[in-house]
Structure 1
């Protein structure tokens, strides 16, 4: 037995190799989809952290400021409360339309991948004829993988957006209820 150890790739190397192979088979549009998906999930994580960690402090601060007001039934107090509710709404629903837009882009990018993959297939047919299916396989995978990835990303993004939207609505309703006049 020799002292020279054979190189055995670890999990990260195998994972990266599989990902790079998948991205190569899907064509350049798949990289665009990966960028859009990364941006989408970065914003989703930011919103989840805001709702879970930052907004509860804002909620408590607004409630304590409202409860410390002497006369909550005056017109001035109601205008101040409405301003606070508007600011809270703006904070809660910030970036949700951006997430929705990124989700809407994903199927369109998948369709772009389908079109570019089919163009590759037609180029192969024009160059080599249609007698060799192996030469057309790369174009077919370039046509199907982006469509699949676009739909999967869009479905996951729609689910995340819907959950975030409902969570924001619940927190806004709870704040509105907490800021009602006590008199």
Structure 2
């Protein structure tokens, strides 16, 4: 019963906002799946990779030569690349949200102008439907972009902090 009402409410919302709203919804869903993947990686997979890098560094007998420094930098770079993962794709998705919202605005306004051409400017109810179709995708795009900006900023700061912690850890093992 609840699922039927929920599905019906979502269907009504998409009809009110137009087809662009569906695309924005899918984009936001995929974006948050990728954000959650990064969060899980930071909490589980990253620790494993750091442990492995530190263990490999500790097993080395030469830790002070030029070659050893290059190997240390390569280890840090590999871990850093894994930390960055799909952050660039996430940033692109965040930037795409308001653009799709703008596209929804344009298509909604085109609908308003079509109604005005057919029914004239006196049919306020038909014009209101088009205006809501124009504003809802904009709002959805902005909500998606804002939530994505906060999440990707946190992910970037965490990645940078974790890289610096690894550099410090391998440096302490160096001396």
- Equivalence for 1:161: 152
Q: 1:148 aligns with which of 111, 114, 139?
A: 139
Unaligned runs of 5+ in 2: none
Residue 107 (str. 1) matches residue 98 (str. 2): yes
Kindly indicate whether residue 161 of structure 2 is the aligned counterpart of residue 182 of structure 1: no
User: Distance between the aligned counterparts of 1:150 and 1:78, measured in 2?
Assistant: 46
Q: Which structure has the larger Rg over C-alpha atoms?
A: 1
| 1:46 aligned residue | 37
The structure in which a higher percent of residues are helix is 2
Where does 1:102-141 land on structure 2 (aligned, <5 Å)?
102-141=93-132
Question: Any unmatched runs of 5+ in structure 1?
Answer: 1-9
1:29 matched to 2:20 = yes
Deviation string 1:50-99 (CA, Å, 9 cap, x unpaired) is: 11110101101111111121121011111111111111111001110100
TM-score, scaled to structure 1 = 0.92
1:118-143: CA deviations, max 9, x gaps?
00000000000011211112211110
Deviation of residue 13 (structure 1)? 1.4
Q: How many residues align?
A: 174
Partner residue, 1:3: none
Distance 1:36 1:182 in 2: 45
Q: How far off is 1:31 after superposition? A: 1.0
After TM superposition, the score normalised by the length of structure 2 is 0.96
Rounded Cα–Cα distance in structure 2 between residues aligned with 1:125 and 1:175:
63
Secondary structure of the corresponding residue to residue 162 of structure 1:
helix
Select which of 46, 51, 55 maps to 1:55.
46
